[in-house]
Structure 1
Amino acid sequence: MGLFRKGYQAMFGRNKWKILRGDKVMVMAGKDAGQVGTVTKVIRDVRFPRVLVEGLNLNKRFLKRTKDNPGGIVSVESPLHYSNVKLVDPQTGQPVRVTWRFLEDGTKVRAAAGQQWCNATGAGL
């Protein structure tokens, strides 16, 4: 770190990631706002955390011609910022904020933040 350079703080701790690979998420901002897709990759960068969502945020790229590839223009998925997606509740289909909770037996599960939590059923996301 230089004398005048500002240090970056992580968005959240190392084990606090709330959106994981395979989750259904809704895009909240950008050209694909309101669309639902599945997370294929989570890029855990401290400065710019991103997620790759299947079939969303497509950009055109040009591929050079090779022996195996004829080349041309193809659509490629680009990553979205972590803050621009929200997890979709499987029961309601609505986007929700997520928090980590502990069940009575001590297991850690994700739950929708701000909703009633039932320890008896242990309904998590």
Structure 2
Amino acid sequence: MSKLSLGAYPHMLGFEQLERLLERTAKSGNEGYPPYNIEQTSADSYRITLAVAGFSEADLSITIEDRQLVIRGRQRDDGADRVFLHRGIAARQFQRSFVLADGVEVGEAIMENGLLHIDLTLMRPETVVQTIQIRKG
């Protein structure tokens, strides 16, 4: 079966970037860690909450890369001088990505009780009607 491209549809002009974004998101390999919630907090705002127990603010980074919100976590392994009888809490790194639509702005990030909250706001553009003049050729 062949892959269908948005470029195969002549009425979908200029959507090549969207197609690349969808492909990259599908390949990002977001496993199940860390678990997260996405909630709508008002008509134009959202909140992403990640469960990041054991991570400090210094262990986390939040960036926006080419219309993607990327959250990375890397714990420092200070267990070199510690002896574990059982180690069930893994100090593993993660990367979690979310595609941002046009007009979505990232607000503040808050760390609270092992949860990282990231607030997003949808900025709705005003509707613009543009008339194109037709001239004789």
Q: TM-score per shorter chain, which class?
A: under 0.3
Provide the TM-score with structure 2 as the length reference.
0.26
Say which structure, 1 or 2, has more relative contact order (CA 8 Å, 6+ apart): 2
Q: Which structure is larger by alpha-carbon Rg, 1 or 2?
A: 2
